Amino acid sequence: MATNGQGPAPLELQIVVGSTRPGRASDLFVPWLVDRAERHGRFAVRLLDLRDWDLPMFAEPTESLVAGAFTTPTVARWNETLATGDAYLFVFPEYNHSVPGVLKNAVDHALGPRVRNKPAGFVGYSGGPIGGARAVEHMVGITVEREMAPLRNAVLLGQVGRGFDAEGLPVDPMTDHALAILLDDLAWWGEALRRARAEGELPPPRQRPVQSPPGPLVRAPQASTGGGAQAGG
Ligand SMILES: Cc1cc2nc3c(=O)[nH]c(=O)nc-3n(C[C@H](O)[C@H](O)[C@H](O)COP(=O)(O)O)c2cc1C
């Protein structure tokens, strides 16, 4: 593991802002997120605002995927950038009970092993009381399919328009507490998985050879003594 002589090197935490609409609510609180992540002490924070990326709608041909080459420089740069992350914090609203298309498209573009075996945390938000919970649940499935390690503890910001004061701080102190828990989890999993990756990773499933089955059971099943449920009665 690389060190700076005073302990392990900081983890690169990539904060991915997954909404690009003019007037998006995340502008209210992303400075707070970045501040808390930078002051946590274990992270070198990198903000990836999808507004800055101009990714095409996913259309990579199979040949590009197999060769690990991409059709546009933006997609190649997106993948090079994701590869340097040790942990990801996705920030996104709920759109129609799911994640915004722009975020799904960005994750679809995370190709090959670049995000594999790295933790993913979630900050969901919405204008109503749900706090983006349904979108967060979808994001768990999306990120696990990309072989990231999605974390249980999330930050859910309901009624996001009323959740932050004029200084950009959360009105409810439990919001800061929820973020502190998530950042601690990202640091713990980030360190653990960085160490594990350095020690060696299992190949992706499709690269693992099919082994012949190990044969008959070592302990043969016992014949039933008739103690099971009886019909009728
Ligand atoms: C297209 C669209 C779909 C939405 N769908 C939901 C929804 O399913 N559930 C919900 O709680 N809020 C929903 N909302 C409200 C948003 O979560 C809320 O307006 C949020 O601030 C939007 O994020 P943004 O400001 O970053 O675009 C939706 C808003 C939009 C624009």
Q: CATH number, domain at 157?
A: 3.40.50.360
Q: What is the pLDDT of residue 232?
A: 43
Q: pLDDT above 70 covers what percent of the chain?
A: 94
Task: Tell me the average pLDDT across 210-217.
Answer: 93
Task: Tell me the average pLDDT across 43-47.
Answer: 98
Q: What is the pLDDT of residue 63?
A: 84
More confident residue, 135 or 220: 135
85-111: burial string, b at 16+ Cβ within 10 Å, e else = bbbbbbbbbbbeebbbebbbbbbbbbb
Residue 140 lies in a domain: yes
Residue 100 lies in a domain: yes
Q: What is the mean pLDDT of the chain?
A: 93
Residue 227 lies in a domain: no
Q: How confident is residue 200, by pLDDT bands cut at 50, 70 and 90?
A: very high
- DSSP per residue over 66-77, as a string? HHT--SSHHHHH
Q: pLDDT above 90 covers what percent of the chain?
A: 82
Nearest residue (CA) to ligand 1, atom 4? 95
**Does the pLDDT value for residue 175 go beyond 60?**
yes
Are the beta carbons of 163 and 19 closer than 8 angstroms? no
Nearest residue (CA) to ligand 1, atom 1? 95
Quote the ligand 1 centre to 165 CA distance (angstroms): 20
Residue 3 lies in a domain: no
> Which atom of ligand 1 lies closest to the CA of 94?
17
Question: What CA–CA distance (Å, rounded) separates 41 from 206?
Answer: 38
Nearest residue (CA) to ligand 1, atom 22? 93
Task: Tell me the average pLDDT across 193-198.
Answer: 98
- How many domains in the chain? 1
Task: List residues near ligand 1 (CB under 6 A).
Answer: 19, 21, 24-26, 93-97, 126-128, 130, 160
Task: For residue 36, give both structure tokens.
Answer: 């808390």
Nearest residue (CA) to ligand 1, atom 12? 126
Amino acid sitting at position 53: W
Residue 213 lies in a domain: no
Residue 79 has a CB neighbour count (10 Å cut-off) of 17
More confident residue, 207 or 2: 207
Residue 230 lies in a domain: no
**Does the pLDDT value for residue 167 go beyond 90?**
yes
Q: What is the pLDDT of residue 66?
A: 76
Q: What is the pLDDT of residue 1?
A: 44
> Which atom of ligand 1 lies closest to the CA of 24?
25
| Closest among 114, 113, 108, 116 to 59, alpha carbons compared | 108
What pTM value is reported for the model? Answer: 0.92
Residue 190 lies in a domain: yes
Residue 226 lies in a domain: no
Judged by DSSP in three states, 49 sits in strand
Task: Tell me the average pLDDT across 186-195.
Answer: 98
> Which atom of ligand 1 lies closest to the CA of 128?
11
Q: Which domain holds residue 29?
A: 11-202
Question: What CA–CA distance (Å, rounded) separates 171 from 201?
Answer: 43
State pLDDT tens for residues 83-101.
Answer: 999 999 999 999 999 999 9
- Tell me the residue length of the chain: 233
Task: For residue 90, give both structure tokens.
Answer: 């996705």
